[in-house]
Amino acid sequence: MNDFLPISRAEMEERGWTQPDFVYICGDSYIDHPSFGCAIITRVLESAGYKVAILSQPDVEEDAPFTQFGRPRLGFLISAGNVDSMVNHYTVAKKRRTTDFYTAGGVMGKRPDRATIVYSNIVRRLYPEAPILIGGVEASMRRFAHYDYWDNAVRPSILQDAKADLLLYGMGEHQIVEVADRLAAGEPVTAIRDVRGTCYFADRSELPDGYVECASFEKVRENKRSYAKAQAIQYNECDCATGHLLVQKHGDRVLVATPPSRPLAREELDRVYSLPYQRTYHPVYEALGGVPAIVEVEFSIIHNRGCFGGCNFCAIAVHQGRHVTSRSAESVLEEAERMTHNPRFKGYIHDVGGPTANFRGPSCDGQLERGMCKNGRKCLAPTPCPKLKVDHREYDDILERMRRIPGIKKVFVRSGIRFDYLNLDRDQTFFDHLVKYHVSGQLKVAPENCSDRVLRAMGKPGIASYRKFQRAFYQKTKQIGKKQYLVPYLMSSHPGSGLKEAIDLALFLKEEGLRPQQVQDFYPTPFSISTCMYYTGMDPFTLEEIYVATDPHEKAMQRALIQYFLPQNQQLVLEALKRAGRWDLIGFGPECLVKPDAKTAAALRARRQAQGEKRGQSRRPAGRQKGGREPWHSAKPSAGRPKSKKKR
């Protein structure tokens, strides 16, 4: 018998069980590593004394996989896996992906679309009286009525479609143990109505006092302004310190969301990461080539949770929360030391990070008592809050002590550095050590865009912050005599970005000498603020209109501009530049983005001739005019090329 939790009837019987307490149904292959929600929840339940069997990627065309364990004593736990099943299956262009990194062998198609709903409905049919609890990212982010990009419509709470009894949102450790204990004590699942971080349906007559209500499913489905207002309310109440009971009417019933669960205390987080994970995939997958998702995380360490950065396109704020908690130095270092005894470990820790690598504690002193700021106010953007606490000393100390552990050759921080936060630290010690010891040739950072208008819509700082970090990084790299590079994450077609902003981004890349091989298009995933902007065309906190590129062809042009240098993108780039009136960027000069084709060259000659004739009729001094606007870093639009001081 191995030390993984049982994934089959035979493995369950090897443990001497005749019935599990819970069956955890998951859309991913089973990986027993704390980077995966399935592993954390099942190990937490195990540590609380419960027997958990895992049903991984069952064949939904057959009943047998769902009945092999029989009816569990306490209930079924259902999750689509580490990623929303629709995001897992489809690109932003809604094309089917070819690889599933969370499935053995990378094989696509081992889970259904909308996996949580499909699994839950099968269980409800087979075991009508069994309690069903749904959770994970897919359920958490779809807990309210939400815009669904793939249907291009507003769907009801996933709890309604899944026909489940209870939805556990957020990370779930507190909720799952409390619910399990109450079920074990004989309390019916329909009576569990006061656990923080859960959702259920009720009659309005059953609602307690003190709730906050947002617009109904029917109203947000028909009215985008109502949708935006509801999103703002949901976001504001998604705070563990100040959140209220939140309700949303769905037909004759009311969806009830209890306030978010409080984040785990440091001691609790340490305990979660000390559980007996096998830290790899189940051996049954070895013959299939293993599970690709383990590669990046097997020898990486998560030291924190939550993110007060609050980027509008990110799910973390409404899933893990904006309150940052972190593991103790001893817990992190013990995990690193354990890695050195793993026969697969080669001496390199790939990453010591989390949602944001360099956050270790609350953003300000009053955060846990008074909660996070509401209505879209952020700790770092568009400018840093004066109350923000900036301190890298504990993180730097952990990395320094980790470097000294025998058997560890290198400790890397590969991504997740919030550079605008790092800029604010007057003590440069951590920055110096980061550049000297923890960069593996390239450091990935996320400026995301260069247009301050788009960055504001993203909830990110202005481009000047990235410029400051960039200068300091390369100066420090030069001082230690290394060749190291920044790799910026960039996003096209985010709300607020039109062709002008996309062209500015192309010019930014040209100026920086960057030629990205991959392009990230904005992906409207459920419950993010940016998705609300995409669907409604307005900022949910101000209700101001915001430009959104929804036309696939325009989005293709924005995407092509980021890779303007590729021959296959020439026609799209030419079309975008013409449409934006940026003929000055078509040509053979160093300032140009793309060379003209024969048709465009003829159009350019005709334009020059017409401009020459027009200038000849003008009383203004003759001079070669430059059309269009200045590059992205210019403060004002140009009226034309400045006159030369040299006499002609």
Q: End-to-end CA distance of the chain, in Å? A: 89
Token pair listed for 172:
């779930």
Place of tokens 């006092």: 209
Helices within 50-153 (DSSP H only): 64-67, 85-89, 115-126, 136-141
Residue type for 200, please? Y
DSSP state of 481: T
Q: How far is CA 162 from CA 49, 65, 191, 200, in A?
A: 28, 19, 19, 12
CA angle 586, 592, 595 (to 5 degrees): 50
Q: Where are the beta strands (DSSP E) in 118-273?
A: 132-135, 146-148, 153-155, 166-168, 198-202, 211-214, 245-250, 253-257
User: What's the maximum distance between 2 C-alpha atoms anywhere in the chain?
Assistant: 98
Question: Which of helix, strand or coil describes residue 166?
Answer: strand
Distance from C-alpha of 147 to C-alpha of 155, rounded to nearest angstrom: 6
Other CB atoms within a 10 A radius of the CB of residue 98 amount to 9
Buried/exposed code over 198-228 (b: 16+ C-beta within 10 A; e: otherwise): bbbbeeeeeeeeeeebbbbbebbbeebebbb
By CB neighbour count within 10 A (0-12 exposed, 13-18 middle, 19+ buried), where does 335 fall? buried
Is 307 marked as a binding-site residue? yes
Q: Provide CB contacts within 8 A for 419, sequence distance 6+.
A: 445, 447, 465, 466, 469
Check the CA dihedral 292-293-296-297 and report its sign.
negative
Distance from C-alpha of 382 to C-alpha of 485, rounded to nearest angstrom: 26
By CB neighbour count within 10 A (0-12 exposed, 13-18 middle, 19+ buried), where does 635 fall? exposed
CB 405 within 8 A of CB 336: yes
Question: Which of helix, strand or coil describes residue 238?
Answer: coil
Is 311 marked as a binding-site residue? yes
Distance from C-alpha of 505 to C-alpha of 429, rounded to nearest angstrom: 32
Taking the CA atoms of the chain, what radius of gyration do you get in angstroms?
27
Is 532 marked as a binding-site residue? no
The angle, 0 to 180 degrees and rounded to 10, between the axes of the packed helices 570-579 and 499-512 is 120
Other CB atoms within a 10 A radius of the CB of residue 596 amount to 19
Token pair listed for 554:
């325009």
Q: How many CA atoms lie within 13 A of 108 on its CB side?
A: 11
DSSP state of 329: H
Question: Which of helix, strand or coil describes residue 327?
Answer: coil
Q: Provide CB contacts within 8 A for 489, sequence distance 6+.
A: 444, 445, 446, 447, 448, 520
Q: Provide CB contacts within 8 A for 313, sequence distance 6+.
A: 458, 459, 491, 494, 522, 528, 529, 530, 531
Question: Binding site: what residues are annotated?
Answer: 307, 311, 314
Question: Binding site for [4Fe-4S] cluster: what residues are annotated?
Answer: 307, 311, 314
